[in-house]
Each structure stands twice: as C-alpha cells, then as structure tokens.
Structure 1
Amino acid sequence: MKLPLFPLNTVLFPGAPISLHIFEERYRLMIGQCLAQQQPFGVVLLRSGSEVSPDDPFIRSLRRQFNVDDDDIIREAVVPFEIGTIARITESQQFDDGRYLLIALGQRRFRVQYIIQHQPYIVASVTQLSEDTSTLSSDEVARLRRTYEQYWTTMARVTGREYDYEELPVDAVELSYWLAHRLHVDNQRKQHWLESDVATRLREATGMLNVELAMLPRSGQQRTGNVWPWSWN
C-alpha cells in the first residue's frame, strides 16, 4: 500500500479522532490530493526533526513578521517512527488562502517498509498490521474493567460528587486503544502502546489506573482548604 505520511508530535490510535490545521504548502498539496482521490494518509510520530519546515513560505512570512533571523533556524532531518496509523478524513474546510481545517479518524496500524519519495512530502510503501490477541486472556480484560470502575467509585467517594463516566468498549482491541488514547502519558509511552500487542496495552493500562488509584486519598482523609492531598497528574 502506498501512503502519504504526516509526521507529527503526536500518536494517533485506531478509532481515535485527530484535528489538524494544515498551513504548509506541502501538506496543503497532500491533503488536497487525499480529498480529491478520497484516500487516507498516515500519521507517524516524529523520532527527530520538526513538524514544520522552516523553508515553508507561510513559516518564512511568520519569521519576517516577528523579526526572527534565518541564521537562528535549526534544520534537522525529519525521521519518523516506522509504525503509525492510517487516518481517514471525515470533515474538512478549506479557507481562501488555501489552509485547511480537518478532522480525521484513526483506522489501522501500519509499518513503513521503505520511502518512495521525500519531496514535496513523504510517501512510503507500508504494510497494514493485524492485531495480535494470542496472549490475551479474559481475566486481563475483566481485571481492567474492575479497576476502571473502582477508579471512578473512589473518585466519587473522595470528591463527594458523582461522575457520568464513559462506558468501556466491549471489544478488547477497541478497549485497548480507547484507554491508550485517553490516558495522560507521554508520546514515548503512547508509541510503545501503538507498537504493542493487545494484551500488553490492556495490562499496562490497568497498571496506570492502579497508579492513579494509589495517589487518591485513603478513606478518612480530608482535603485542606481547596487543595486535595494528592495530584490529578
């Protein structure tokens, strides 16, 4: 499968939405072609380099506007991770100056086999990845569900308010991505989860929820003023 790539400082999971403001010329061209051909693009986390080209006309105009010297610009080669997520555009709006606002939805994971072109944007030959559930057990799924419910029960107790929390997806694969998208961890951890099998994602998500539970006050603890004796992290 040939796929245009959008290297970003974010990790997109299957089933998760992403909102993008497209202002660089190369990505305006890429998105325009994706829309015209009704084709997806790939979102990959940056291993090194910048999301934005310092030589893009829009970026150069901003530098002139804010009196930024071109000599201060660091140019570093863009190197993305090999595993990313196919994104299909669900909503888009183009402005008179050519910029786009769009919403895309994560589809399936892929692995980059090799780069076909670098300019004006990266196009790669990719292979779609299947979901490995061979090591998944029903006990792990049940443990995660119990921990999730325990978290919100404890939150209600320590804050004195009820939470209308979201119901967990039934499917184990969908569940693993649902939590991976919502848990507040850094991009390195999210990329690790994207590359992992389903059982690993569920097991480590359960561990993260247990860490959050451990940070909540024990029974009988009270808050002091407006400050709780724990962190929302």
Structure 2
Amino acid sequence: MTTRLPLFPLNTVAFPGVAVPLYVFEDRYRALVRDLLAEPDPTQRVFGITSIREGYEVTAPGDGEGHGAQSLHTVGTVMQLTEHERDEEGTFQIESVGRQRFRLHRIDGSGEYAVGEVDLVEDPPGEDLTPSAIEQAGRTLRTFEAYREQLGQLRGGVVLSGTFPTSPTFLSWSLSATCLLTGAEKQRLLETTDAESRLLLLRHLLAEEMRAMRAVPSLPATEVSRLRWSPN
C-alpha cells in the first residue's frame, strides 16, 4: 500500500532500531519538524531518511525541483521523532529512531519540503526463529568480535563498545550501523531483504575489512559510527 512520507535526505544510511541524532537548521527541514511536532500522536511523528547517491546532483524520481533535490536511493528508513530541543534561532536538535524500511517511488516537491510516495517494507515473518538465522547471528557476532579486537589493536584499545541484541534481525541492523563500512556497503545492507542474508553479507564485508587491515596497517577511512542502538 502506497503512503506519503516527509523526506529528510542525508549523506548517511539509517537503519531500523537505531537512534539517529540530527541538527536541523535548513528552513525546509525546520518546517518539517514543526509539522511533526504539531501531530498530537507521538507515534505518528514519522519521516523518512533516504541516502543521497554519491556523485549525483540530479533530481530523484518525481518532480523534486525547487528543493535542490539530489538523486536518492530508493530504499530508506522510516524514522520516528522521539526527542527535540529548539533554540532561540529556531533550529532543532532532534532524536529519531528507525522503525522500518520503505521503498521510494516518487517525490512531490510542491510544498515546503519534499514528500515521498512510498511503500512500507515488512521484514519476513518469523525469520528470527529459524535455526539457520540464529546460527548466522552467532557466527557474525564472533566475526565482529574479531574485527573489533583487530581494530582496537590498531587504535591502542577497543573503539567499538556496547552490547548488541540477540535477535538476528535487530543484530543485523545494529551491526550494520556500528561497523566501519562505506555508505555504499551500508546501503547494500539496508536493501538486503532478510536478516540471514544480511548477516552473511556483514560477515563477508568484515572479513574483507580485516584482510585489508592486515595487508595495510592503517585505519579505515570511515569514522566510528556515533549512531546508537535503540530497542524502541
């Protein structure tokens, strides 16, 4: 079922279950936040984060002109605004949490900010209960621990800390947000259709990263993710 969703394009990838802090200063996104806060039901204060395609400056699917819209990936994440602070100048510091994925079909740029026509993407039912998904979760977490240890040795200590959920689905999302991967790799993980395949891809990407770190003893170019896991 197609629905309309306000869009907040970013040069990053957001994941379900992961908290994303945002500093909102552009007029169009201030208007978006004000409209969200006018919604009396906090659970309906939702918008979409979709990643901007690197190297493109053309309009995404739809009409988007007039907003300087750039080419967007068509799979993004529905975010719920959970906390906010407004300063005297009218800018916002907000906290948002990923709820589920969406697929973008068209952009309406006729208003103050872009609104997408999207389909919500549901995860396959019961996938967290399959023995193969549970096995993949354990294997991927062990690979991540080895990756974290190797990265910590390069930086003189552990740099990726914290506990992770046991659910294969939410483990796949939290590791996708935490690991030092490129934007293209994170978008690929977001677009992977099920947790088992996502965990397998994560393990492959981490193994490649560890091989690269062993071959060239320098740090990955990507900064440590500051996104936080949230079970809400």
The equivalent residue for 2:17 is 15
- Once residues 10 and 155 of structure 2 are traced to their aligned partners in structure 1, the CA distance between those partners, rounded to angstroms, is 37
Which amino acid in structure 1 is aligned with residue 24 of structure 2?
Answer: I
**How many percent of aligned residue pairs carry the same amino acid?**
29
Deviation, 1:155, is 6.5
| TM, length-normalised to structure 1 | 0.72
Residue among 104, 126, 132 paired with 1:112: 104
1:80-130 alpha-carbon deviations (Å, 9 max, x no partner): 221111111122111222111111111111112333444321112222111
Structure 1 regions of 5+ residues with no counterpart?
51-74, 219-228
Higher mean C-alpha displacement, 162-171 vs 105-114: 162-171
Deviation, 1:187, is 1.2
Structure 1 position 230 matched with structure 2 position 217: yes
- Once residues 15 and 130 of structure 1 are traced to their aligned partners in structure 2, the CA distance between those partners, rounded to angstroms, is 14
1:162-188 alpha-carbon deviations (Å, 9 max, x no partner): 789433310001011111101112211
Structure 2 regions of 5+ residues with no counterpart?
59-66, 221-232
- Once residues 158 and 8 of structure 1 are traced to their aligned partners in structure 2, the CA distance between those partners, rounded to angstroms, is 30
The equivalent residue for 1:44 is 50
Higher mean C-alpha displacement, 118-127 vs 130-139: 130-139
- Once residues 162 and 21 of structure 1 are traced to their aligned partners in structure 2, the CA distance between those partners, rounded to angstroms, is 28
Task: Please give the root-mean-square deviation of Cα atoms over the aligned residues, in Å.
Answer: 3.0
- Once residues 143 and 87 of structure 1 are traced to their aligned partners in structure 2, the CA distance between those partners, rounded to angstroms, is 29
> Does the 8 Å CA contact 2:17/2:97 hold for their aligned counterparts?
yes
> Between Structure 1 and Structure 2, how many residues are aligned?
199
Report the structure number with the largest CA radius of gyration: 1
| TM, length-normalised to structure 2 | 0.73
- Once residues 24 and 178 of structure 2 are traced to their aligned partners in structure 1, the CA distance between those partners, rounded to angstroms, is 24
The equivalent residue for 1:222 is none
Partner secondary structure for residue 38 of structure 2? helix
The equivalent residue for 1:64 is none
The equivalent residue for 1:166 is 162
1:175-213 alpha-carbon deviations (Å, 9 max, x no partner): 111111011122111111111122232112112332344
- Once residues 186 and 155 of structure 1 are traced to their aligned partners in structure 2, the CA distance between those partners, rounded to angstroms, is 16
The equivalent residue for 1:209 is 206
Note the 1:26-65 alignment, pairs <5 A.
Answer: 26-37=28-39, 38=42, 39-47=45-53, 48-49=56-57
> Does the 8 Å CA contact 1:110/1:128 hold for their aligned counterparts?
yes
The equivalent residue for 1:145 is 141
Partner secondary structure for residue 167 of structure 1? coil
Partner secondary structure for residue 139 of structure 1? helix
